[in-house]
A and B are shown apart, each in its own frame.
Chain A
């Protein structure tokens, strides 16, 4: 279990936190990893705070309890930080990736977490999404940022796998497929610590 990575996604209902966890899980699985991807089921209302989770390991995963001490937290919507404790369970050396235009240093200062030893990454996933997909759907770019930060998955393989998945879903809307793939790649390149 030494190589187990636990990830928690924070989003709002409709932003695709669940889909992102499922897509990330599937991509990791197609690259030979053992995975889990599951949402937290509660108030499934548009705009309400929601969470979803991933577990990734080189070995089979038998854990079925909730994720309480994630290694990586992904925040799809920065406005959540004011109402939800997105840092819950994050310890020294753990990582948070936030969708924001702000620089990691600035946001760490703003949130007063500079001395906690948590690695902060930021990427303007909403901006990238608006540029490439035409709408603010930050989940796929955040997935690209996560692939970079997680560091154990080859981005070209992830993009190839994602392309296949999206092709099934959006057979008649090729522009959505290209937009998403570009958004993933851009966030992968633009995420910064």
Chain B
């Protein structure tokens, strides 16, 4: 592929819009919201310039954006939309309908906190709010990963017939220009192939009903089909990540690890923080500390067994959540990772952190002190009064 390598400078939003152009969806219905607005805006430019064949529907709200996307997907189209924060909140009613109808919609999402107070900056509260909506969720470190994940997402979603949201950290990635390697249009076209839905509304040969009433006698069985699909999605994701890696040279997984092989201490995190954490790992390693990083990418389906295997050999683990579920427990990544470890014979000491709400910056030095705290925790030199620390919050 080296001879075809096309390196460009793009922001996260530009990279996601570029992936959409190459996918050339049948229908895109979208409504603007900061910081995801540019995705649909740039894509609308592609439509106006005749670079795609997409039917672009300008709707009056995100609820309608998701509704129109669901309708078009049920009719047999390859359909996309994009949103963020309050927009995702407004879509919430429609999201489980997309997943239970088994519609392979792929949606770029830009992580922004949710109101109140009003704030346009990054945390993962928005996508975590809909983590139980039956959508697969992928959290990306940077623009390159977002671009790749959207292309892979089309393949995964259509194979397993479930929708997927692919998110970047608002402003930190969505508005940061960086080098990314694009895949040539014709290679993308060949890779994603033509979408052939098994059933669709506008097929006179095989008539179906979509979204009908389904009460006590069969609802459970029909819901079970969707539940089962999410359980099987892991296999499809694994296979698609491998294939993407073989074709294009960038291989991903449920989570990526950094210097974890001989590590005693690790941080588990998602999104852009993981890039900064790599630098912290390098600094700590130079100081002789055996530390590593686990970058969680796929949060839904949750790769419990795989994660349990990777962390079981660690002495201490810091779990970093960029959202708080206001559950009185810890952040969602911490709660689910601990659940995944319940059946493990060996498990590390764990402390969790909620960080960066509303876009609060986290510097390398803060991550280094977390590694040092975990080191102390592993040697019983430190005790925490609570299971979770709210990083850098003033009292």
Contact = CB atoms under 8 A, between A and B. Distances in A.
A8 to B, nearest CB: 14
A97 interface: no
Nearest to B177: A37
A64 interface: yes
Contacts of A38: 171-172, 175-177
A65 B364 contact: yes
Contacts of B173: 64
A63 B179 contact: no
A157 to B, nearest CB: 15
Interface string A30-56: 100011111101000000000000000
Nearest to B11: A38
A66 B171 CA distance: 11
Interface in A102-119: none
A137 to B, nearest CB: 21
Contacts of A145: none
A37 B363 CA distance: 18
Given A35-B179, A38-B177, A64 B275 contact: yes
Contact of A37 (B121, B142, B176, B275): B176
B177 A62 contact: no
A64 B142 contact: yes
Interface in B150-191: 169, 171-173, 175-179
Contacts of B275: 62-64
A29 B181 CA distance: 12
Interface string B326-364: 000000000000000000000000000000000001111
A35 B363 contact: no
Given A1-B279, A35-B9, A37-B9, A61 B363 contact: no
Contacts of B273: 64
B33 to A, nearest CB: 14
Contacts of B387: none
Given A25-B9, A26-B9, A63 B175 contact: no
Nearest to A41: B171
B272 interface: yes
A68 interface: yes
Contacts of B171: 38, 41
A34 B272 contact: no
B291 to A, nearest CB: 15
A39 B121 CA distance: 13
Contact of B282 (A1, A64, A65, A66): A1
Interface string B245-289: 000000000000000000000000000110110110010000000
B196 interface: no
A22 interface: yes
Contact of A65 (B35, B120, B361): B361
Contact of A64 (B7, B8, B35, B169): B169
A34 B173 CA distance: 15
A29 B175 contact: no
Given A22-B177, A37-B177, A41-B171, A64 B9 contact: no
A64 B176 contact: yes
A29 B177 CA distance: 10
A66 B362 CA distance: 8
Nearest to B171: A41
B9 A29 contact: yes
B179 A62 contact: no
A62 B276 contact: yes
Interface in B2-50: 7-9, 35
A66 B361 contact: yes
A118 to B, nearest CB: 22
Given A34-B179, A35-B179, A64 B172 contact: yes
Given A64-B142, A64-B169, A66-B361, A36 B276 contact: no
A65 B362 contact: yes
B34 to A, nearest CB: 9
Task: Give the interface centre of B9, B120, B173 by most chain A CB atoms within 10 Å.
Answer: B9
Interface of A: 1, 22, 25-26, 29-30, 34-39, 41, 60-66, 68
30 contacts: A1-B279, A25-B177, A26-B9, A29-B7, A30-B9, A34-B178, A34-B179, A35-B179, A36-B176, A36-B178, A37-B9, A37-B178, A38-B172, A38-B176, A60-B179, A61-B178, A62-B142, A62-B275, A63-B275, A63-B276, A63-B279, A63-B364, A64-B176, A64-B272, A64-B273, A64-B275, A65-B361, A65-B363, A66-B363, A68-B363
Given A1-B279, A26-B9, A26-B177, 7 more contacts: A22-B9, A29-B179, A35-B178, A62-B141, A62-B275, A63-B364, A65-B361
Interface of B: 7-9, 35, 120-121, 141-142, 169, 171-173, 175-179, 272-273, 275-276, 278-279, 282, 361-364
